[in-house]
């Protein structure tokens, strides 16, 4: 990140797959001028580009397991070095292990940055399988949709950009989501206590309507960015 007069906000969204981290991070980007930084998106881009990191990550991601901290940290550091992150970042899907959380502390310490808030999105596991297995996105702008909860107004046409190509993630299926939920509970959920101990934990109810959750998150982000 670049040096600025006021420190950029660093916000963390915590929650299992399907909690709505990506959807809400995109909304916060628009409302607060922050940059969404999704390690899942960065890894999928590395897989698509066929980089060494992408080749190593592909099978692990398809199995719903966590990619090694080394690979994820290298990808994250490269992205954090880009100038747009000076506006502040919303970390979506990172950190996911205690090792990643400590590495983030080191990285931020070295740059004189602090975590504004780590926000845990509280949801029911049972609902997550349904949420994840029905979701798809616009291939052009990334707007998210769902077979049951949020279809585009005109079939197969993006409400936001008019794009007509929709895509589904290879790991968004009922079998893989079970492994992803297990990985979350075993390796990521302990970070809730970690950030509570640092005095930066906030929680929101992630089971309501998208706009209601956005309102709750916005209130938290407004407090830590002003
Ligand atoms: P996501 O898009 O956040 O659901 O991530 C999709 C997949 O990418 C996960 O199931 C993991 O295999 C991998 N992944 C994303 N972020 C991380 C991370 N911080 N640490 C380890 N693996 C990750």
Task: Convert the pLDDT of each residue in 98-120 to its tens digit.
Answer: 999 999 999 998 888 889 999 99
Rounded to an integer, what distance in angstroms lies between the CA atom of residue 34 and that of residue 52? 29
Rounded to an integer, what distance in angstroms lies between the CA atom of residue 60 and that of residue 62? 5
Q: Distance from the CA of 151 to the center of ligand 1, in angstroms?
A: 25
Q: What is the DSSP letter of 208?
A: S
With 0-12 / 13-18 / 19 or more C-beta atoms within 10 angstroms meaning exposed / middle / buried, residue 134 is middle
Output the pTM of the full model. Answer: 0.92
183-223 pLDDT tens trace: 999 999 999 999 999 999 999 999 999 999 999 999 999 99
Residue 95 alpha carbon, nearest atom of ligand 1: 19
Rounded to an integer, what distance in angstroms lies between the CA atom of residue 31 and that of residue 191? 26
Q: What is the DSSP letter of 19?
A: S
- Contacts for 110 with CB less than 8 Å, ≥ 6 apart: none
30 C-beta neighbours (distance < 10 Å), count? 10
Residue 7: its pLDDT value, please? 66
Mapping DSSP to helix (H, G, I), strand (E, B) and coil, where does residue 51 land?
coil
Active site residue 169: yes
> Is 180's C-beta closer than 6 angstroms to any atom of ligand 1?
yes
Q: Distance from the CA of 188 to the center of ligand 1, in angstroms?
A: 11
Residue 92: its pLDDT value, please? 97
156-172 pLDDT tens trace: 999 999 999 999 999 99
Confidence check: pLDDT of 2 > 70:
no
Residue 159: its pLDDT value, please? 97
| Closest residue to atom 6 of ligand 1, CA basis | 40
In total, the chain counts a number of residues equal to: 226
Task: Identify any residues that bridge with 79 across adjacent strands, giving them in sequence order.
Answer: none
| Closest residue to atom 12 of ligand 1, CA basis | 61
User: Cα dihedral sign for 156, 162, 163, 166?
Assistant: negative
| Closest residue to atom 5 of ligand 1, CA basis | 40
């Amino acid at each position: 990140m670049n040096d600025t007069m006021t420190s950029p906000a660093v916000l963390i969204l915590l929650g299992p797959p399907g909690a709505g981290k990506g959807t809400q991070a995109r909304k916060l980007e628009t409302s607060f001028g922050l940059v969404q930084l999704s390690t899942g998106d960065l890894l999928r881009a590395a897989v698509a580009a066929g980089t060494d990191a992408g080749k190593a990550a592909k099978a692990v991601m398809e199995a719903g397991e966590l990619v090694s901290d080394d690979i994820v940290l290298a990808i994250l550091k490269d992205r954090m070095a880009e100038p747009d992150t000076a506006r502040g970042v919303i970390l979506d899907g990172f950190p996911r292990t205690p090792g990643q959380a400590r590495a983030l502390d080191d990285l931020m310490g070295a740059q004189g940055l602090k975590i504004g808030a780590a926000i845990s999105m509280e949801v029911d596991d049972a609902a997550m399988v349904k949420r994840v297995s029905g979701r798809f996105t616009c291939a052009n702008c990334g707007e998210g949709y769902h077979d049951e909860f949020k279809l585009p107004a005109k079939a197969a046409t993006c409400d936001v950009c008019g794009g007509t190509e929709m895509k589904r993630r290879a790991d968004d299926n009922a079998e893989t989501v079970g492994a992803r939920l297990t990985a979350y509970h075993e390796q990521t959920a302990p970070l809730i206590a970690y950030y509570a101990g640092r005095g930066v934990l906030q929680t929101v109810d992630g089971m309501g309507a998208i706009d209601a959750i956005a309102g709750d998150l916005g209130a938290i982000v407004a407090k830590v960015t002003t």
